[in-house]
Amino acid sequence: MFFDKATNVWYLLTSADHNTVQINKINSDGSIGSLASTLTKGAYEAPSILVSAGVYFLLVSGKTGYRANANQAFWAPSPAGPWTGPSDIAPPAEKTYGSQNTYAFAVEGSRATTHVYMGDAWDSKGTAASNYVWLPVAVEAGARKIALQYYAMWRVDPGTGGRVVPGGVEARCLGDDNVCAAPAPATDSDNNTKQQRTMVRLFRTGDEIAFRNVTGRPGTPHEWVSIRYTVNDPDAGEAYVKVNDQTAPVNLSEYNSRAGYHHTVPVRLRLDEGDVNTITLGAVGAAGFEMEVEGLELHEDD
């Protein structure tokens, strides 16, 4: 459903036969009212509406069953249409970051408005990976465009309405020695700052890598740690983690059900105070399961 504040009218969005998106008004008694508009420019489902500066964006998904696809958006001057488009809401290769549009809403605060995308991340096997992807939406009403902004970890302040991304990275654990330290910018031969190169390690099942000297802050036993890695097939195996003298490893999916499906996975790990922690990553899975690790990032914000 969608509530239009400009007219105080509720609308019901449906997908007739998973092909025609239909928008009906909802009567004051809750019954389905008159037809407002339809979208017949393709086989679409999972509709929702986002509105900004008088421009209405209709978000829809293609029909690919449990498999994610590149969701798209149409725009119109009102729920009555006509709907113009489509345009991509994310890079097509990302397949809407492994999700399907479910709902869009706005957090209106004292200083800003943050539009939020909620997408179903379905797993046909019915595992805990069937979760949700929540992302802020960048809206360019004048250009008639919207785009999802991908962050592995972020939040919105309900008071101010502002989007908050965790503070600067406190440390990166990279390099041949796998020792964590504050990141320093690298320079080229012309003394120009450039992005620090990362070491990528390739694993097969049973391999491990240990990152030493990871810093735990005073009074903050549970730290947010982003683990940057990819796997060749998330259904064929898992990454696991051990902290310090922990005897039994824990699969990352138990900390974050989308582990393996995204390149950066934020988890909360219990660390000891000081530069005394060792975080060990490993891979376990079927023959041929592979894992590439870029490193770890510790965040300043909780």
CATH number, domain with residue 128: 2.115.10.20
pLDDT at 177: 61
What span, in angstroms and rounded, lies between the C-alpha atoms of 271 and 274?
Answer: 9
Residues 160 and 173 in one domain: no
Torsional sign, CA 91, 92, 95, 101: positive
Which residues, other chains included, contact 127 with Cβ-Cβ below 8 Å and sequence gap of 6+?
257
pLDDT at 164: 82
DSSP code string of 86-130: EEESS-GGGHHHH-EEEEEEEEE-SS-EEEEEEEEE--TT--TT-
Q: What is the pLDDT of residues 243-281, one digit of tens each?
A: 999 989 999 999 988 888 888 999 999 999 998 999 999
Residues 149 and 82 in one domain: yes
Residues 13 and 149 in one domain: yes
What span, in angstroms and rounded, lies between the C-alpha atoms of 270 and 244?
Answer: 10
Residues 10 and 88 in one domain: yes
* Residue-number span of the structural domain to which 228 is assigned: 169-299
Partners of 22 in beta bridges: 14, 38
pLDDT at 65: 84
Residues 154 and 241 in one domain: no
DSSP code string of 172-198: EE-STT-BEE----EE-TT--EEPPP-
Residues 143 and 84 in one domain: yes
pLDDT at 13: 96
> Residue 294 CA to chain centroid, in angstroms?
19
Residues 73 and 192 in one domain: no
Residues 151 and 217 in one domain: no
86 upstream amide cis, omega within 30 of 0: yes
**Of 121, 136, 164, which closes a domain?**
164
Q: Do the beta carbons of residue 216 and residue 229 sit within 8 Å?
A: no
Range in 41-50, 168-177, 185-194, 200-209 with the lowest mean pLDDT: 185-194
Residues 135 and 263 in one domain: no
Residue with tokens 């660390």: 271
pLDDT band at 181 (very low <50, low <70, confident <90, very high): low
**Of 164, 190, 208, which closes a domain?**
164
Q: What's the burial of 175, exposed, middle or buried (CB within 10 Å: 0-12/13-18/19+)?
A: middle
Whether 11 has a pLDDT exceeding 90, the answer reads yes
pLDDT band at 191 (very low <50, low <70, confident <90, very high): very low
CATH code for position 228? 2.60.120
Residues 197 and 286 in one domain: yes
Q: How confident is the prediction for the chain on average, in pLDDT?
A: 87
Tally of structural domains, the chain: 2
pTM to 2 decimals?
Answer: 0.83
Instruction: Report the share of the chain in percent with pLDDT over 70.
Output: 89
Whether 112 has a pLDDT exceeding 70, the answer reads yes
Which two tokens mark 94? 């990302």
Between 56 and 42, name the one with better pLDDT.
56
The DSSP symbol for 217 reads P
What span, in angstroms and rounded, lies between the C-alpha atoms of 224 and 246?
Answer: 18
82 upstream amide cis, omega within 30 of 0: yes
DSSP code string of 244-286: TT-SS-EEHHHH-TTBTTBSEEEEEEE--SEEEEEEEEEEEES
pLDDT at 148: 97
Residues 186 and 262 in one domain: yes
Residue with tokens 């390739």: 202
What span, in angstroms and rounded, lies between the C-alpha atoms of 269 and 227?
Answer: 11
Residues 158 and 173 in one domain: no
What span, in angstroms and rounded, lies between the C-alpha atoms of 230 and 285?
Answer: 14
At 232, is the secondary structure helix, strand, or coil? coil
Q: What are phi and psi of 118, to 5 degrees?
A: -115, 120
pLDDT band at 52 (very low <50, low <70, confident <90, very high): very high
Whether 139 has a pLDDT exceeding 70, the answer reads yes
**Of 102, 132, 164, which closes a domain?**
164
Q: What is the pLDDT of residues 153-164, one digit of tens each?
A: 898 999 999 988
Between 142 and 16, name the one with better pLDDT.
142
Whether 207 has a pLDDT exceeding 90, the answer reads no
